[in-house]
Amino acid sequence: MFSKDRWDEILEALSANKFRTLLTAFGVFWGITILVLLLALTNGLRNGVTADFGNFATNSMFMWTQQTSISYKGLPKGRFFNYKLGDVEALKAEIPELKYVSPRLQLGGYSGDNNVTRGMKTGAFQVNGDYPEFIKQQPMDITSGRFISYSDIHAKRKTCVIGVDVVKGLYDKEEDPLGTYIKISGVNFMVVGTFKASNSQGDQEEDANTIFVPFTSFGQAFNSGDNVGWMAITGHDGKSITDLKPKIFEIIKARHKIHPDDNRAIGNFDLSEAFGRVNGLFSILGFVGYFVGALVLMSGIIGISNIMLIVVKERTKEIGVRRALGATPWTIKSQILQESLILTISSGMVGISFAAGVIWLMNYILDHSGPVDNFANPSVGMSVVFTALFILVVSGLLAGLIPANSATKMKPVDALRID
């Protein structure tokens, strides 16, 4: 079907009126460019916003304590309470769908008073008492050494893992922090590892200013007993944390004598729900991108169909001559179809390449002028390119169909009579 002669025929016909062919091709070129760019921009927005979630396991929730708001079992409202280590064990035992329940104790804040010193240097850092599995909930890059381990937990070792900005604040340039000691609120901890937040955007500064110490060591060093300040809870894959939430609250409320209807006592943030909302939004945006892009592309395709109709009309006599010389209707039809296909696909390819160039340029500018809020790495996957190509092939055929049919509708004798 695609012999060299066929190609020559088609290229000859297309180049017989170069300017018109170019103008026609531009419609499809523009359509596919818009389609790809829209999808890339949607992706950029999605990447930007989801980067705010960092690498955090998204099927997670965070839980802290607030004041109770309903008096219950003789206890007044407005009461403060603390989670206990026992709560963690109870949750793990009673809800097997939970993958991780990480308790945490916190000290200070990176914007607060200086709480960490090393020799002459001091700094204000966030200090977290954590369990080893926390790194699975919020992945981070361990740049040297290791993260806290269970043997640290059991032995209540005073070890710590420090963020990059902590290293910057407390150490000279060529110093190796591993094995050195820093003083956190007057207690010495040995540095066993350093970490870097992996590609999160908004909270980067806070992350980099954080020190992780074993949960048990924290409790012992800062006299918090078996209190738990904060919990990060992750569900198993396929078990939505949002669905498990009521059960978690029920257990906690029972253990702390909180009224079952007291929803303000337990502060929480459901990452999965927030993530799902954002994802839903972007699914819709992606759909809008496809929809609008396809509509723009369609006007390009109508342009091609239109011009092919004119071409067929203009070449009525030529088609008559060709048929007199022995061209079968199918030969004529397939030539028109192929002309429109080639026109559509080649202009579409140029469109995709052009869009890719624009996307590259956007990325280049983003890389060089620093990150922009809520926008990162606009890109389209190969699947989008293939979808676009598929749309092009189908539309090229559609665009050629009507003209091809009208080309052979006329009897050759009538076609020859036209001037």
Partner 1 sequence: MIEIKDLHKSYHMGSNTLHVLKGINFNVKEGELVSIMGSSGSGKSTLLNILGMLDEADTGDYTLDGFAIKNLNEKIAANYRNKFLGFIFQSFNLINYKSALDNVAMPLYYQGMKRKERVEKAAHYLEKVGLADWSHHLPNEMSGGQKQRVAIARALASEPKVLLADEPTGALDTKTSYEVMDLIQGINEEGKTILIVTHEPDIAQMTKRIVNLKDGLIINDTKVEQVRAISNV
Are 247 and 91 within 8 A, CB to CB? no
325 vs 382, which CB is nearer to partner 1? 325
108 vs 320, which CB is nearer to partner 1? 320
Give dist(CA 407, CA 185) in Å, integer: 88
Residue 417: other Cβ atoms inside 10 A = 12
93 vs 418, which CB is nearer to partner 1? 418
Shortest distance in whole angstroms from residue 320 CB to partner 1: 8
Shortest distance in whole angstroms from residue 47 CB to partner 1: 50
Q: Which of 343, 351, 267, 226 is nearest to 68 (CA)?
A: 267
13 vs 298, which CB is nearer to partner 1? 13
Q: Which amino acid is at 114?
A: N
284 vs 413, which CB is nearer to partner 1? 413
94 vs 414, which CB is nearer to partner 1? 414
Shortest distance in whole angstroms from residue 331 CB to partner 1: 7
Kindly give, in sequence order, each residue whose CB lies less than 8 Å from that of residue 116, ignoring residues fewer than 6 positions away: 108, 122, 123, 124, 125, 127, 166, 170, 182, 183, 184, 185, 211
Are 208 and 165 within 8 A, CB to CB? yes
Are 84 and 184 within 8 A, CB to CB? no
Residue 155: other Cβ atoms inside 10 A = 13
Shortest distance in whole angstroms from residue 312 CB to partner 1: 15
Q: How many CA atoms lie within 13 A of 229 on its CB side?
A: 17
Shortest distance in whole angstroms from residue 416 CB to partner 1: 7
Shortest distance in whole angstroms from residue 325 CB to partner 1: 5
Give dist(CA 211, CA 162) in Å, integer: 4
Shortest distance in whole angstroms from residue 289 CB to partner 1: 41
Shortest distance in whole angstroms from residue 401 CB to partner 1: 18
311 vs 355, which CB is nearer to partner 1? 311
Secondary-structure breakdown of the chain: helix, strand, coil percentages, each rounded to the nearest 5: 55, 20, 30
143 vs 328, which CB is nearer to partner 1? 328
Phi and psi at residue 176, to the nearest 5°? -95, 115
Shortest distance in whole angstroms from residue 410 CB to partner 1: 11
User: b or e along 337-356 (b: 16 or more beta carbons within 10 Å of the residue's beta carbon)?
Assistant: bbbbbbbbbbbbbbbbebbb
Q: Which amino acid is at 256?
A: H
Q: Which residues bind partner 1 (CB under 8 A)?
A: 4-5, 9, 12-13, 16, 317-318, 320-331, 408, 411-413, 416, 419
67 vs 328, which CB is nearer to partner 1? 328
The pair of three-digit structure tokens given for residue 254, joined into one six-digit string: 């029972």
